[in-house]
Amino acid sequence: MTSNCEHGTFVADVDVKRLLDFPDGLVTSYSTDIRIQCADCGTKMQFVGIPTMGVSNCTPTVSVDGFELRAPIIPCPAINPIGDKHE
């Protein structure tokens, strides 16, 4: 690791999740968790400007340390599992 790295290339770790209703097992929503770090020196990138920490199925959130963006996603064009149509 070097302190004068210009952070020119990056790697991202992305998890895509299907959130299920119990006990029915029906898909109720989708979510993605994204972590990014510099490929050259390993410095983790923090997500800024996300006002909510924690987990939500309707708004983007960030982990307490800022290193993981958690964002709800929908298929497009889509009718979300709740029944609202998105265009």
Amino acid at 60: P
Tell me which of 5, 11, 20, 78 binds Zn ion, using CB under 5 A: 5
Shortest Å, Cβ 17 to Zn ion:
28
List the end-to-end C-alpha distance of the chain, in Å, as a whole number: 45
Q: Are 71 and 31 in contact (CB under 8 A)?
A: yes
Q: Are 9 and 63 in contact (CB under 8 A)?
A: no
Does 7 bind Zn ion (CB under 5 A)? Our answer is yes
Site for Zn ion in 15-54 (CB under 5 A): 38, 40-41, 43
Binding stretches for Zn ion (CB under 5 A) = 5, 7, 38, 40-41, 43
